[in-house]
Amino acid sequence: MAKRKTKFVCQECGYETAKWMGKCPGCQQWNTLVEEVSAPSTNSRHVFQTSSTSSKTKPEKINSIKSEKEPRLPTDMPEFNRVLGGGIVAGSLVLIGGDPGIGKSTLLLQVSAQIANKDKPVLYISGEESSRQTKLRAERLNITSDELYVLSETNLQDVINQIEAIEPEFVVIDSIQTIFKEDVTSAPGSVSQVRECTSQLMRIAKNKGIPIFIVGHVTKEGSIAGPRLLEHMVDAVLYFEGERHHTFRILRSVKNRFGSTHEMGIFEMKEQGLVEVLNPSEIFLEERSQGAAGSVVVASMEGTRPVLVEIQSLISPTAYGNPRRMATGLDNNRVPLLMAVLEKRAGLLLQNQDAYVKVAGGVKLDEPAIDLAVALSIASSFRDQVSKAEDVVVGEVGLTGEVRRVARIEQRVQEAAKLGFKRVIIPKKNLDGWKPSSSIEVVGVSTVQEAMKVTLGDA
């Protein structure tokens, strides 16, 4: 008999080594190497013969391949459809991750019920809950459909057998860390198990044309647990974000082979389940304080959708030698950079000031177009001058103090006009090539100093 070999695999990055080490050389994490027993290698002659006869496909000329539009399965949630690029694509494998208790199972159970209500069989596989527990959630969500099948199983082969027997139109795996393959000797949730099970599910989705959604656990840093290969294998990666003690949830797309990336959908958690928020800008601005210094509204793009959110800043004299720089909802390194630009180019003495910057509503913004709004918010709080409540600010700020052009300026201005704002401050380079609406005033600025004069007046 062939001798079984043992190896140690990092559960964070998939690094393999022949001996145990306390610190992984790949990701520099401690105590992540777990022993796994590898299957005995097969005869090399047999492998050669199998590989030489297994390939049946031949290369085709790209001009001779017929391009067909991917059929999509729409749900009753426009927000969910838009994040996926217009609906669920047949044969797609989608990975959704999020913190425990955030609502991943609730969202997928609601989507499953909506598809089942269209007389399409749906298979919901729960590896973490029993069928009765899933039934209790379904009763809370008022889900009653004869086409929705629930299976509490963790064996991959049994899952595949049920998929072939029922032939569903939609499959949910909750979660991939609980599914195991019998011929893989490592424990469920390990790198080998997750990789092999996902690969098997991917072949089923592509061969049978069944869309499969798999739930993935996340690490304490917020990324999906398991090897990075897992995100490369799937067609789309969705993150379900939000605070557990707040009602709003954000479904964000970070990878999508069939649609736009960085798309965002807003949901609100209620007693009857998740309810979509069709106009998130109104939600983010409904509690905005009028006449408060340090408050500026910015029009940010989340995928193809413009979202208006409030940026708040608090500047106060420091009581320590090193002033604090804290940011919530945006990059921590952006705040000291913009404060340095304001100090050098606009003459604001900020080196002895603590700075606290926050994006209201729990949204995370990462595009450069919010630079000008953050800078004006900091200047407003430092001067204790209130900016006009009817203003919206958009623009990227360079290190020399210039305001640079941004993309999709027309959609940002239209969203501001729709919500009743009277004026938009944008980069002057963005004024060319289009005509703004007559219901809103558009002001172009070239530098941070010019933007401060327009919004705050002369100091």
Is 270 flagged in the annotation as binding? no
Q: Which residues, 6 or more positions from 333, have their beta carbon under 8 angstroms from its beta carbon?
A: none
Domain boundaries, the chain: 5-43, 71-278, 283-456
| Rounded Cα gap, residues 382 and 348, in angstroms | 8
Report the number of secondary-structure helices (H) and strands (E) in the chain.
12, 23
Is 92 flagged in the annotation as binding? no
Residue written as token pair 């647990």:
225
Is 316 flagged in the annotation as binding? no
Determine the pLDDT at residue 244: 60
Determine the pLDDT at residue 55: 53
Query: Cβ distance 341 to 397 under 8 Å?
Result: yes
**In the numeric block, which tokens belong to residue 73?**
């399965």
Model-level pTM? 0.76
Determine the pLDDT at residue 248: 83
Positive or negative: CA dihedral 50, 53, 57, 60: positive
Given a cut of 50, the residues of the chain with pLDDT beneath it are 44-53, 459
Task: Give 425-454 as a DSSP string.
Answer: EEEGGGGTT----TTSEEEEESBHHHHHHH
Determine the pLDDT at residue 48: 38
Query: Cβ distance 80 to 112 under 8 Å?
Result: no
| Rounded Cα gap, residues 86 and 77, in angstroms | 11
Phi, psi at residue 416, to the nearest 5°?
-65, -40
Omega before 52 cis (within 30°)?
no
Is 294 flagged in the annotation as binding? no
Is 101 flagged in the annotation as binding? yes
- The 10 Å Cβ neighbour count of residue 236 is 24
Tens digits of residue pLDDT in 392-427: 999 999 999 999 999 999 999 999 998 999 999 999
- The 10 Å Cβ neighbour count of residue 448 is 26
Considering the domain delimited by 71-278, tell me its CATH architecture. Answer: 3-Layer(aba) Sandwich (3.40)
Positive or negative: CA dihedral 283, 289, 290, 292: negative
Determine the pLDDT at residue 414: 92
Determine the pLDDT at residue 291: 80
Is 458 flagged in the annotation as binding? no
Is 444 flagged in the annotation as binding? no
Tens digits of residue pLDDT in 121-178: 999 999 989 999 999 999 999 998 899 999 999 999 999 999 999 999 999 999 898 9
Q: Which residues face 425 on adjacent strands? A: 393, 443
Determine the pLDDT at residue 92: 94
Q: Which residues, 6 or more positions from 1, have their beta carbon under 8 angstroms from its beta carbon?
A: 40
Phi, psi at residue 53, to the nearest 5°?
-110, -5
Determine the pLDDT at residue 369: 95
Considering the domain delimited by 283-456, tell me its CATH architecture. Answer: 2-Layer Sandwich (3.30)
Is 427 flagged in the annotation as binding? no
Determine the pLDDT at residue 198: 92
